[in-house]
Chain A
């Protein structure tokens, strides 16, 4: 079982769209996939039309594996289940910290609940203050969307510093450029500069800025399902292929 964290320490960068489209691409390729909506503001559950179950105030939520697995809902797509936004990132972090070997324990917990997933995708909240080492340690890779602007460049540096300071494996970070407008000089220059600066940290794929991605909110579905031939859908498929290659 592989764990992919979709993370950005800056909001509004297309992180949730990435989690949703990536999860859909994994499922479509035949991987049994679970997408966990850990971002209370995020909308990945919304995109899959899965209603959040009752808010769980209890911090010991994850003590009870049955309640964890019992909250999982099937999406309308084969191979793709959703853990809706009914827990806080903090809860999940505590859950992982309680597990010494997080990944195998998480896998066992899921399996005990009757689900054996190949891939778990975490839609993490964009919050630097509660940045969790546990999630980063448990994840096989951390997919980080970056808009090629100065501010994004700055927050990406912060993330790299955090990894360095906490002795986390930086090679787990798979950055990619999101909401890219190649017509803008600033975007082109920032992208080129960052690719040079962090040569191994960026994937080749870029997701273009396009209204098709924004329309996910209207369709409430992954891009590939309503605009399969659009450049955005192609870009997400490329992104999937690159992430998949890194997992092997």
Chain B
């Protein structure tokens, strides 16, 4: 049973460590001090650092410092930047939180100096082991990480040493970013930042700060899209733009009518060149699932289809990359950033000065009622069109709730957000199957226009796929009424009413 914990130590304490006394325990050095080069790795959104982990590559080994299992190692060889590209080993196994869609990118480089100490008692028996790692970057910034390893039966000694480390300024790994210390000025990326909106803040300011926050988030993803680092950059880029567009359409009356229309058009134009690449990314990410849907006899056609998708993706990626690099795009997006950074030039609408709390309650309540109205009209016979409408309204409701989340009591808010998310999962699948069928049908039409022989094989597979997707869509369709019932329980209804409608709900 290994028990380890890691702390960041002030540099002074770290250098004094070999001469410190820990109660009756004395440190003695075991083994030689070693020094190796490292390259720190993490995803663009710092998944590992967020989980209190540190991953580095020494050229020969890949090493992962984890709060639970101490230091894990495996050979550094890997076939690509994704976790799935690593050889099977303890490091790979402990990287569960990293999305398979996220590339591991270099955070920075430097040297690790490692010193090992044993804390021994009067009998020279080791009671606690200490591993001191000094990470120094090429720019000369340092961080000292001390790892305590307890030995079975010596819990008291470990607790005492831990106490002393904390008292001398040690901070548990994961609290505060090591990256910030090692790489000052490094801009960390957060896809979903908490936007502070005061209850009495004017709706106009709230809208400005939401858009003003998400625009730089969209922009932060541009480089990753251009370099084609991983597909999540484009995904995050689109989500940020979609949130901005939903502010424009949902916060009606905050900006002047003409200004709103004009902004809607401008953001819609930013969004539209991205759709094609995103669709192809989604197909390619689900390749295995598609193969699993069809019998092996139809796989050759499917393989050709995916080869075609891969080629098309290359084209779409180049096109989007060129677009993002273009002068016109840079000018336009720069202008928009300026506009919202200053936030004064946009014409105010009739609701501009309403307090955020009051305004958001009205918006959310209205949207919730709308969702309920549509859902009430859905039965087994209703047209799919209505289910799509329900999905869109749920999405709008979700965005509104997320924007204004900080204004409301957290626990109650979460209690209605969670069931909403589950309903949206159902509606989302329904929609995905539907959109994929449409796209594949359009593809069939295109294939029909050329008379190449291989196209026949592809067409057979696509035809079968459409049939399977149709069946899956029906399955999801059949769940909608039940999902809505689960979402709209009495508790949910009461919470919505209290938070967003009742007069005594105002705080």
Contact = CB atoms under 8 A, between A and B. Distances in A.
B1 A73 contact: no
Contacts of B124: 49, 220
A71 B126 contact: no
B1 A115 contact: yes
Nearest to A83: B153
Contacts of A123: none
B125 A81 contact: no
**Residue with the greatest number of chain A CB neighbours at <10 A, chosen from B118, B123, B125:** B125
Interface string A56-81: 00000000000000111110100001
Band of interface residues on B? 10 to 19
B1 A76 contact: no
B23 to A, nearest CB: 16
Interface in A1-59: 48-51
Contacts, number: 29
B153 A71 contact: yes
A33 B424 CA distance: 53
A6 to B, nearest CB: 22
A114 B118 CA distance: 24
**Residue with the greatest number of chain A CB neighbours at <10 A, chosen from B1, B118, B123, B152:** B152
A115 B151 CA distance: 13
Contacts of A71: 153
A115 B154 CA distance: 15
B152 A72 contact: yes
B154 A73 contact: yes
Interface string B113-148: 000001000011110000000000000000000000
A114 B125 contact: no
A73 B151 contact: yes
Contacts of A81: 152-153
Contact of A49 (B1, B123, B152): B123
A72 B124 CA distance: 18
Interface in B431-451: none
A117 B151 CA distance: 16
A114 B1 contact: yes
A222 to B, nearest CB: 14
B24 to A, nearest CB: 12
A73 B153 contact: yes
Contacts of B151: 73-74
A72 B123 contact: no
Interface in A189-238: 220
Contacts of A72: 152-153
Contacts of A51: 123, 125
Interface string B370-398: 00000000000000000000000000000
Contacts of A73: 151-154
B266 to A, nearest CB: 62
A49 B151 CA distance: 14
A56 to B, nearest CB: 15
Given A49-B124, A114-B1, A220-B124, A76 B153 contact: no
B123 A74 contact: no
Given A49-B124, A50-B125, A114-B1, A76 B152 contact: no
A115 B125 CA distance: 21
Given A49-B123, A114-B1, A76 B154 contact: no
B118 A74 contact: no
Nearest to A51: B123
Q: Which 3 A-B pairs have the closest CB atoms?
A: A73-B153, A49-B125, A74-B151
13 contacts: A49-B124, A51-B123, A51-B125, A71-B153, A72-B152, A72-B153, A73-B152, A73-B153, A74-B154, A76-B118, A81-B153, A115-B152, A220-B124
Interface of B: 1, 118, 123-126, 151-154
Given A73-B152, A74-B154, 18 more contacts: A48-B125, A49-B123, A49-B124, A50-B125, A51-B123, A51-B125, A70-B153, A71-B153, A72-B153, A73-B153, A74-B151, A74-B152, A76-B118, A76-B125, A81-B152, A81-B153, A114-B1, A220-B124
